[in-house]
Amino acid sequence: MTTTHNTASTIVSEMTKAQSPSSVTIPDNLPNSIIDVQNRIHLLGSLLHLAMHSPLHRRYTLNELEEQFVASLIHGQFRYYEVAGSPVGFVNWAWLTDELAEKYSTGEYTIALNEWQGGSQLWFPEFIAPFGHTNAIVRDLRTHVFEKGTPAKALRISPEGDFKGVSQYRL
């Protein structure tokens, strides 16, 4: 795993290929090798762990989990956080066009796989920090991922899953 250290948490920004057993040969040209699949399964398991500890996310169906998380994993538009090997947070982002942002801001629209990139509006579809690491995650996003002052938006959703509006931020 590639890790970055700061005082509050260990940040895992991307899963890297582990060493494969010597008895297994994995062709270099396979985009979805068994190692990649194992890393994805590990990350998805960690996301499920986080979701189970979040009042909002524990209500998600498997379909909703797929819609809200998998596209960002495919596009590499996420940060996953661990402390002492245990998951503590996850955040993903999409760059939406003005048209898509207008649809998404209603709380009734799901971003499709091919819509996560290409726009100029930064949105955070998911932010999970059920163990109190929100400030450390925001600090990491401000210092290591996005330029200071970058405008961003997120849907406000109650723990019961009700749409409450749109929050605007400056990173």
Whether the CB-CB separation of 147 and 155 falls below 8 Å is answered with: no
Q: State the DSSP string of 149-166.
A: T-EEEEEEE-TTS-EEEE
| Amino acid (1-letter code) at residue 147 | E
3: three-class secondary structure by DSSP: strand
- Would you mind telling me the total number of residues written for the chain in this entry? 171
57 is known as an active-site residue: yes
Indicate the DSSP class of residue 100: H
Given the residues 5, 49, 53, 57, the one annotated as active site: 57
Please identify every residue annotated as catalytic: 57
